[in-house]
């Protein structure tokens, strides 16, 4: 039987490189739990494209309920080319999870890792440390599976912005900026990324954001049009702090931003709702490299660090924060000391990254 103070983590490895990056991450989590005396159990749950192929459902109701009942969910990646629903659309059980659990805030930290060169040669790129807060339940994705095609002549998708979710997204963003300002010892700034000059929905989003901003006088607030942000993320990404944005904009900008710090293998994420959270790398199943032992598990390890931190914030105890710091420091230290994964031109595969990080957690 599980002891009363035990935290239960549902692990959904998924497809492609998902099982490869989650396996090493779970092993590291177990090591951290031993070191810090954390009561942690993991339960592996099957979902994804191959689950659909084999069972006819991408995520059973029983699996959903077990994930929902867990204290946190660690997810690899889901989907596979060639395995699709009968209407030709891609399987997206991880998107269903976001919608059903109300995970409106996709927290995507973009932080340069020492020794890892991103797309920019400018030495200031070493200072990149921003967070995209991608709204993850509405925006253009509210139309997912609902778009209409009219007489093979016209197609329509409807974007949805609500006051309720925009307020919550703004509060999460300002809370995050305040926490970062305190930790980093510098003022915080939240920049809403929108297209308020063209669309009413974004003018509305901006109005609601400004109302919330007024309640955080210690944090600077401003706005940036999404097209200008795409340019400035290349020109001066080191100038930004917290960037809340609509779902589709966040989807696109977070891939662009991952390129600034070495690629998808380095970009973690946390999808947060009021009571639930899913932690997963920002990347997909990478079918081109699956099964070769070369997937970079860094994004998943850093997502696990975010999970430990979040559990600490939710009352699990200081040990969880300490474990989070230690994991992040170990990952960054391993790269600072010369670890180089194949996605950045090196030769250290999944197991080598895991060993280098585990070594730093020894002693
Ligand atoms: P999705 O639409 O599900 O986000 P995708 O097909 O757009 O997925 P990814 O699966 O993220 O994209 O892969 C994009 C590219 O990045 C591929 O070339 C892939 O090999 C590479 N990639 C993604 N994740 C990793 C990783 N962890 N390690 C190494 N390379 C990766």
Q: Rounded to an integer, what distance in angstroms lies between the CA atom of residue 293 and that of residue 341?
A: 11
So what's the pLDDT on residue 123?
96
Predicted confidence band of residue 79 (pLDDT cuts 50, 70, 90): very high
For residue 246, give the nearest of 142, 138, 171, 102 by alpha carbon.
138
How far does residue 321's CA lie from ligand 1's centre (Å)?
29
Delineate the domains of the chain, giving CATH numbers in brackets: 1-116+270-363 (3.40.718.10), 119-260 (3.40.718.10)
So what's the pLDDT on residue 57?
95
The ligand 1 atom nearest the CA atom of 299: 27
- What sign has the CA pseudo-torsion 78, 72, 282, 156? positive
| pLDDT beyond 90 at 95 | no
The neighbour count for residue 291, using CB atoms within 10 Å, is 11
How far does residue 16's CA lie from ligand 1's centre (Å)?
10
* 172: CB partners within 8 A, 6+ apart: 105, 107, 133, 244, 272
pLDDT digits (tens, 9 = 90+) for 238-261: 999 999 999 999 999 999 999 999
Average pLDDT, integer, range 27-51: 96
- From residue 58, how far is each of 49, 62, 76, 226 by CA, in Å? 6, 12, 14, 34
| pLDDT beyond 60 at 231 | yes
Tokens 């809403």 belong to residue = 192
- From residue 172, how far is each of 212, 235, 269, 294, 310 by CA, in Å? 10, 27, 15, 35, 13
| pLDDT beyond 60 at 68 | yes
pLDDT digits (tens, 9 = 90+) for 163-194: 999 999 999 999 999 999 999 999 999 999 99
List b or e across 189-212, with b for residues whose CB sees 16 or more CB atoms inside 10 angstroms. bbbbbbbbeeeebbebbbebbeeb
C-alpha triplet 275, 276, 277: angle, nearest 5°: 140
So what's the pLDDT on residue 1?
46
pLDDT digits (tens, 9 = 90+) for 6-18: 999 999 999 999 9
Q: How does the average pLDDT of the chain come out, rounded?
A: 95
Predicted confidence band of residue 4 (pLDDT cuts 50, 70, 90): low
The ligand 1 atom nearest the CA atom of 298: 27
Q: Rounded to an integer, what distance in angstroms lies between the CA atom of residue 116 and that of residue 262?
A: 6
- From residue 88, how far is each of 83, 84, 91 by CA, in Å? 9, 6, 9
What is the best residue among 262, 284, 299 to mutate for testing ligand 1's pocket, by most ligand atoms within 8 Å of CB? 284
263: left (phi over 0), alpha (psi -120 to 50) or beta: left
C-alpha triplet 57, 59, 80: angle, nearest 5°: 75
Predicted confidence band of residue 3 (pLDDT cuts 50, 70, 90): low
């Amino acid at each position: 039987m599980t002891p009363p103070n035990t935290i239960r983590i549902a692990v959904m490895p998924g497809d492609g490189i998902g099982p490869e990056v989650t396996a090493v991450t779970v092993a590291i989590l177990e090591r951290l739990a031993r070191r810090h005396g954390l009561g942690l159990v993991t339960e592996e749950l099957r979902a994804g494209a191959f689950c659909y192929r084999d069972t006819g459902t991408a995520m059973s109701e029983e699996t959903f309920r077990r994930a929902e009942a867990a204290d946190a969910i660690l997810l690899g990646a889901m989907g596979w080319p060639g395995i699709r629903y009968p209407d030709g659309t891609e399987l997206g059980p991880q998107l269903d999870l976001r919608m059903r659990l109300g995970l409106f805030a996709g927290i995507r930290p973009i932080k340069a890792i020492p020794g890892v060169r991103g797309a920019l040669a400018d030495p200031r790129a070493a200072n990149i440390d921003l967070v995209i807060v991608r709204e993850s339940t509405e925006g253009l994705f509210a139309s997912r599976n609902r778009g209409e095609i009219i007489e093979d002549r016209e197609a329509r998708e409807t974007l949805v912005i609500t006051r309720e979710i925009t307020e919550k997204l703004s509060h999460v963003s300002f809370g995050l900026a305040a926490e970062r300002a305190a930790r980093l010892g510098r003022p915080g700034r939240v920049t809403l990324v929108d297209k308020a000059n063209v669309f009413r929905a974004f003018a509305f989003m901006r109005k609601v954001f400004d109302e919330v901003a007024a309640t955080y006088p210690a944090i600077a607030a401003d706005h940036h049009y999404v097209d200008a942000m795409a340019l400035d993320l290349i020109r001066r990404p080191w100038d930004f702090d917290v960037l809340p944005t609509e779902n589709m904009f966040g989807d696109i900008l977070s891939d662009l931003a991952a390129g600034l710090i070495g690629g998808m293998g380095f970009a973690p994420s946390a999808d947060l709702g009021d009571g639930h959270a899913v932690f997963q790398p920002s990347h997909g199943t990478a079918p081109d490299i699956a099964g070769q032992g070369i997937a970079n598990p860094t994004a998943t390890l850093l997502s696990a660090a975010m999970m430990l931190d979040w559990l600490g914030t939710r009352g699990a105890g200081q040990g969880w924060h300490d474990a989070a710091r230690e994991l992040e420091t170990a990952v960054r230290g391993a790269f600072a000391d010369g670890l180089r994964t194949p996605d950045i031109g090196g030769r250290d595969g999944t197991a080598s990254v895991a060993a280098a990080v585990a070594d730093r957690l020894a002693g």
